[in-house]
Structure 1
Amino acid sequence: MRPDRATETFEAQRPRLLRLAYRMLGSHAEAEDILQEAWLRWDRSDRAAIAEPAAWLTRVVSRLCLDQMKSARARRESYPGTWLPEPLIEPQDDSLRADNLTLTLMMALERLTPLERAAFLLHDVFGEGLDEVAETIGRSPAATRQLAARARAHVRIDRPRHAVPKEAGEVLARAFFEACRQGDPAVLGRILARDVQVHSDGGGKVLAFLNVIAGAERVARLYAGLARKPGPRPEFLGAVTIDGLPGFLSRVGGHLQTTALQIRDDGRIAAIFITRNPDKLAGLRPGRQNGLSG
C-alpha cells in the first residue's frame, strides 16, 4: 500500500532529522524519541499552511532537542564515570557521511551551552541560514551569530586537520588491539602519543575506568597488567568507523565494546574512546553495521 503524502514527506526528511537529533543529544534512543514526537506534531498539523515542510520539521526537532538537553545535562552531571556519546557505527562508503563531525568534536560540543550547540550544528554543520537558525532558537540574528562564533571557537582546536585514510586507520586499530591483548609495551610505546588519554564509559553497568587515564607509560602499564590477568581473552570482531574515527568492535569478558581512536598527524594515537555501557550498545550486532544514514 502506497504511503500517504504526509508520510512520504516526513520519511524523506527522516535521515537528516535523525542525524540532527543525534548530533544535538548524543543518543540514538533519545533521537528516535524526538522524531516520534516530531511525527505526531507533523501528523496533527495543518500541512496546507506549511510552505516549507523541511524547514518546519527542522525547527520542531531542534526545539524538542533543546528542551531535552536541559534534562540530559542534569543526568550527565550524576553519570557514573566518563560519559561518551553513543557510538555511531558508520558505513564504510565515506560518500554516505552527511556531515564532518567526529567523536572528538561531539565531545567538544558537550562543553557548549544548548543554544551554542544548536546554533553551531544548524548553521555550520547542517547549512541552515542565520535567519532560520535565529527563528528556530528564538534569538535575534545578531545574537545567533555570536552563539555560533563562540561555539566555533570552542570546537576549532578539536577539529582534525587531516583525515586519516581508512586503510591506515584499520591497520592502526588492529595493531592497537593486538598490542593491548598481548600487553606489549614496546608496540604500545611506538603507536601511542606521549600525552595519550583513555576515556572509558561503562555507565555503572559494567567495569570501566572511572577516570581518564593519561600518559603513554601509564596506559602501556595498564594494558600490560590487564593482559596478565587470568580469564577470557578479548576477541576482535571487526574494524569499523565510529563517528568519523577509526576503531573496532570487540568482545571482552562476554561484553561488547567499541573502541574509537583519535590519530594525530604523525600517526600516533592521541585519544582512545571505549564504550562498554550495554545501554549504548543495544543496537549493535557483531558482523552487522549500525548507524544513522543520511
Structure 2
Amino acid sequence: MESVAIERFEASRGRLASLAYRLLGSAADAEDAVQDTFLRWQAADRKRVEVPEAWLTKVVTNLCLDRLRSAQARHERAAGDWLPEPLLEGDPMLGPADTFEQRESVSLAVLTLMERLSPVERAVYVLREAFTYPHAEIAGILDITESASQQHVHRARIRVAAERHRSGEADPAAARRVVEEFLVAATSGRTERLVALLTDDVTAVSDGAGLARRLLRYRTRERVASYVRAGFKPTPAKRRLAGGSPALHSALVNGSPAVLAVIDGRIVGAVAFEISDGKVASLRGIAAADRLARLNTAWRQHAPDAPVINAW
C-alpha cells in the first residue's frame, strides 16, 4: 500500500512543483513546499481521500499561501525588492505551456507583477490562468465561495494587465535577433544604437550582482542604455569579481529571450528581456548565486549553442 501511495504522489509531483513555483517564484521554495506536501500525504488517512489529485493540490496551494503570508516572506518581498528565480527553457518546473496564458503566467514579468496581488488573488490567478481549474474547484481548494473566486481572478487580471507590455507573443527567432543585436551594441559602446533598440517606456531592474541591499531600477531609454553600457563593459575588476572572463550565450529563460554569462560551464549572471514590437521593453538582471542554482543545474545538462560573444 505504501508503494502505491508513493507512486500516486510521484505521478503528481511535476504538476505540484509547477504550481508551487508559480505561486512562490522560487524553485527552491517550491521544492520545499512539494516535500512538505509529500510528508503530509504520508501521514494522512488516505482511505478518506476520495480524489488524491485534488487533495494534493489543496495541500500544496495552502502551504504556499502560508509561506507568502509569513513575516519573512513579507520582509523579503517588501516594496518589490525581489526578483523571481529564473528557469531555463525545458525545465519541467515551468509546467504547462499549451496556451498563451499558461506561457505568460510563468514569465519573469508576470511572476514579478503577481507580487502586487494578495496571496489569495495570486493563487486564484494561477489556478485559473495556468491550470484552467473551474471556479467551483478553486473555491474548494481555497475555502472561499465560487463568487469570490470569480471576483479575485477578475481583479488579478486587471492588475496584471495594467502594467504588462503586451503586443502579442514575439516570434522566438526575431526576439533572439533583437537580443543579439542589443548585446553587440552593449559590448561595443555603440550607445546610440543601444538607445534605438529600446522602447520609449523601457525599464530595467537588477539585483546588483547580488551585492546591492535593494534592487536597482532604471527608467528612460538614456538611463537604461547607460546602465547597460556600464554593466556590459568589461573591466579587470569585473573579471576578478566574476572569477574569469565569461562567454555570453543567448538562451530562453521562463519563455523569454535572455543572455547568460558563463565561466567554465557555470552561469554567473542572467539578463532576461521582454520584447515589444521588435524593441526591448524591459530587462531583468539576476546574478545572486542562490537565484541561479537551478539554472546552473539545468545548464550543466544542456547542450548550448555557440556563444554570441566568446570572451567578454
Verify same fold: TM over 0.5: yes
Specify the SS of the correspondent of 2:77.
helix
- Amino acid in structure 2 at the alignment position of 1:97: A
Corresponding residue for 2:114?
109
Corresponding residue for 2:97?
97
Q: How do residues 17-32 of structure 1 correspond to structure 2 at under 5 angstroms?
A: 17-32=16-31
The answer to whether 1:182 aligns with 2:188 is yes
Tell me, yes or no, if the aligned pair for 2:86 and 2:295 is still in contact at 8 Å: no
In 1, Cα distance between the equivalents of 2:128 and 2:96?
A: 20
Tell me how far 1:209 sits from its aligned partner.
7.9
Corresponding residue for 1:153?
158
Q: How do residues 150-229 of structure 1 correspond to structure 2 at under 5 angstroms?
A: 150-157=155-162, 158=164, 160-202=166-208, 205-206=210-211, 210-226=215-231
Corresponding residue for 1:37?
36
- Amino acid in structure 2 at the alignment position of 1:224: R
Corresponding residue for 1:86?
85
Tell me how far 1:78 sits from its aligned partner.
7.8
Specify the SS of the correspondent of 1:128.
coil
Q: State the Cα deviation string for residues 19-56 of structure 1 (Å, max 9, x = none).
A: 11010011111100000000011111122221211111
| 1:256 corresponds to which of 239, 250, 268 | 268
**CA distance 1:129–1:67, shift in 2 (3 Å):** same
The answer to whether 1:73 aligns with 2:63 is no
Tell me how far 1:274 sits from its aligned partner.
0.7
Tell me, yes or no, if the aligned pair for 2:135 and 2:146 is still in contact at 8 Å: yes
Corresponding residue for 1:142?
147
**CA distance 1:122–1:95, shift in 2 (3 Å):** closer
Corresponding residue for 2:284?
273
Gaps of 5+ in 1: none
Corresponding residue for 2:128?
123
**CA distance 1:238–1:229, shift in 2 (3 Å):** closer
Tell me, yes or no, if the aligned pair for 2:207 and 2:216 is still in contact at 8 Å: no
Specify the SS of the correspondent of 2:55.
helix
In 2, Cα distance between the equivalents of 1:225 and 1:267?
A: 23
**CA distance 1:167–1:78, shift in 2 (3 Å):** closer
**CA distance 1:209–1:60, shift in 2 (3 Å):** closer
Q: State the Cα deviation string for residues 186-235 of structure 1 (Å, max 9, x = none).
A: 320221112211111248x4359843111111222333345566323963
Specify the SS of the correspondent of 1:168.
helix
In 1, Cα distance between the equivalents of 2:115 and 2:216?
A: 17
Tell me, yes or no, if the aligned pair for 1:35 and 1:61 is still in contact at 8 Å: yes
Structure holding more helix per residue: 2
- Structure 2 length normalisation: TM-score? 0.81
Q: State the Cα deviation string for residues 58-85 of structure 1 (Å, max 9, x = none).
A: 0000010110001212322288xx4110
Greater RCO structure (CA 8 Å; 6+ sep): 1
Tell me, yes or no, if the aligned pair for 2:261 and 2:269 is still in contact at 8 Å: yes
**CA distance 1:11–1:145, shift in 2 (3 Å):** same
**CA distance 1:195–1:288, shift in 2 (3 Å):** farther
Q: State the Cα deviation string for residues 210-265 of structure 1 (Å, max 9, x = none).
A: 4311111122233334556632396344222212211121148x97111111111x
Tell me, yes or no, if the aligned pair for 1:183 and 1:220 is still in contact at 8 Å: no
Deviates more, 1:58-67 or 1:117-126: 117-126
Tell me, yes or no, if the aligned pair for 1:238 and 1:287 is still in contact at 8 Å: no
Deviates more, 1:228-237 or 1:187-196: 228-237
Tell me, yes or no, if the aligned pair for 1:89 and 1:289 is still in contact at 8 Å: no
- Amino acid in structure 1 at the alignment position of 2:273: L
Tell me how far 1:107 sits from its aligned partner.
1.4
Tell me, yes or no, if the aligned pair for 2:96 and 2:131 is still in contact at 8 Å: no
In 2, Cα distance between the equivalents of 1:208 and 1:194?
A: 28
- Amino acid in structure 1 at the alignment position of 2:222: E
Report the number of matched residues.
283
**CA distance 1:117–1:95, shift in 2 (3 Å):** closer
- Structure 1 length normalisation: TM-score? 0.86
Gaps of 5+ in 2: 304-312
Tell me, yes or no, if the aligned pair for 1:259 and 1:272 is still in contact at 8 Å: yes
